Amino acid sequence: MAFKILFLNGPNLNLLGEREQSQYGVITFNELKKNCLRKSEELDVKLEFVQSNIEGEIVTWIQKAKETYDGIIINAAAFTHTSVAIRDALQIFKKPKIEVHISNIYNREEFRKKSLISDVVTGGIFGMGSHGYILAIIAMHKIIKNENK
């Protein structure tokens, strides 16, 4: 049976392609989604790729994920730096979790240097542009495969 991965995207990521291109590039959210779905198909992974501007909705998705998904990849966007609720929900989800950021959050403004979720996830990828999304899918696939040997 194919592994199932939930890919969560936080606020304003729906505006990729038009927001701060110097940080996030020109790729649109839909193009990024298509690339991720293509890579998942190649790996025979079932990928659910979603975005929300609402913190509580992301918390609910994480809570429900334990019934259906083998792993979560999350770009919590601005909530990375503020949301104890998303952190707590991730801590409750006991399967592999990867944090992704398109930009390098450690060479930007001070307030972005603190991630509230880095220490409750399996690992993270940042500063690799949209390639980071593909790398995260490959890494998650390998992690889940190893766990299911």
State in angstroms the smallest separation of the CB of 1 from ligand DQA: 31
Q: What's the token pair of residue 20?
A: 């701060």
Of these, 77, 116, 117, 143, which contacts ligand DQA (CB under 6 A)? 77
Residue 96 has phi, psi (to 5 degrees) of: -60, 145
State in angstroms the smallest separation of the CB of 103 from ligand DQA: 3
Given 69, 101, 133, 141, which residue is catalytic?
101
By CB under 6 A, tell whether 5 contacts ligand DQA.
Answer: no
Distance (Å, whole) CA 17 – CA 31: 9
Q: Which of residues 116-135 bind ligand DQA (CB under 6 A)?
A: none
Residue 116 has phi, psi (to 5 degrees) of: -80, -5
Closest CA to 86 of 24, 8, 29, 14: 8
Q: What's the token pair of residue 89?
A: 């929900």
By CB under 6 A, tell whether 115 contacts ligand DQA.
Answer: no
Of these, 15, 37, 43, 78, which contacts ligand DQA (CB under 6 A)? 78
By CB under 6 A, tell whether 12 contacts ligand DQA.
Answer: yes
Contact region with ligand DQA (CB under 6 A), list: 45-53, 87-95, 102-110, 136-144: 102-110
| Contact (Cβ atoms closer than 8 angstroms) between residue 81 and residue 115 | yes
- Strand residues in 11-131 grouped as ranges (E): 45-51, 71-75, 97-101, 123-126
Which parts of this chain interact with ligand DQA (CB under 6 A)?
A: 12, 75, 77-78, 80, 101-103, 105, 112
